[in-house]
């Protein structure tokens, strides 16, 4: 089957994600919305001691992990760290043995490697939006992330 036909056969999925931290590092959470064929699914989770960047990556990763077959995916986030990491920095990090431009180990390597694996079966477009600027899905993801932090704190 030609690439054009394969592309048409793929299901379109939108993933919106955000991460939050109460202190950085500190308790953190992520919120993710998956949208496909007019249906939505919300995901969230929290970690007791983490960073905002880890939660941003986790939100995208958990969304991708929900997909059971190859899809055409648009991931929308307010994290330039996530977007630039996946679209600009990743190939250099891999080429340089997971060292950044300062020759230091790349932070969050475990999550970057998991994202690399998670995107492999899909056609992924990374889209940045300004945070806290009224983008409905981004605002909802932020709310989910903060609710996850609160719920975790209340359990302890």
Collapse the DSSP code of 94 into the 3-class scheme (helix H, G, I; strand E, B; otherwise coil) and give the result: helix
- pLDDT tens-place string over residues 93-112: 999 999 999 999 999 999 99
- pLDDT tens-place string over residues 25-65: 999 999 999 999 999 999 999 999 999 999 999 999 999 99
Active site residue 18: yes
> Residue ranges for the binding site?
18, 56, 78, 142
What domains appear along the chain, each with residue ranges and CATH number?
Answer: 11-155 (3.30.420.10)
Residue from 14, 18, 62, 137 carrying the catalytic annotation: 18
| Averaged confidence pLDDT in the chain | 94
Active site residue 3: no
Residues 17 and 60 sit within 8 Å (Cβ to Cβ)? yes
* Rg over CA atoms, the chain: 16
Residue from 29, 45, 56, 85 carrying the catalytic annotation: 56
9: pLDDT confidence band, cut at 50, 70 and 90?
Answer: confident
Residue from 14, 29, 31, 78 carrying the catalytic annotation: 78
Give the global pTM. 0.92
Q: DSSP H helical segments within 72-108, as ranges?
A: 80-84, 90-95
């Amino acid at each position: 089957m030609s690439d054009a036909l394969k592309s048409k056969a793929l299901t379109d999925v939108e993933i919106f994600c955000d991460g939050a931290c109460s202190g950085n590092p500190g308790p953190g959470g992520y919120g993710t919305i998956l949208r496909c064929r007019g249906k939505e699914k919300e995901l969230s989770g929290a970690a007791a001691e983490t960073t905002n960047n880890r939660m941003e990556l986790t939100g995208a990763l958990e969304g991708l992990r929900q997909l059971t077959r190859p899809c055409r995916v648009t991931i929308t986030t307010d994290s330039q760290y996530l977007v630039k990491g996946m679209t600009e920095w990743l190939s250099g990090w891999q080429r340089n043995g997971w060292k950044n431009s300062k020759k230091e180990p790349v932070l969050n390597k475990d999550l970057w490697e998991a994202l690399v694996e998670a995107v492999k079966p899909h056609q992924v477009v990374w889209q940045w939006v300004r945070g806290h600027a009224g983008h409905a899905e981004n605002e909802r993801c932020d709310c989910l992330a903060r609710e996850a932090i609160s719920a975790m704190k209340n359990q302890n």
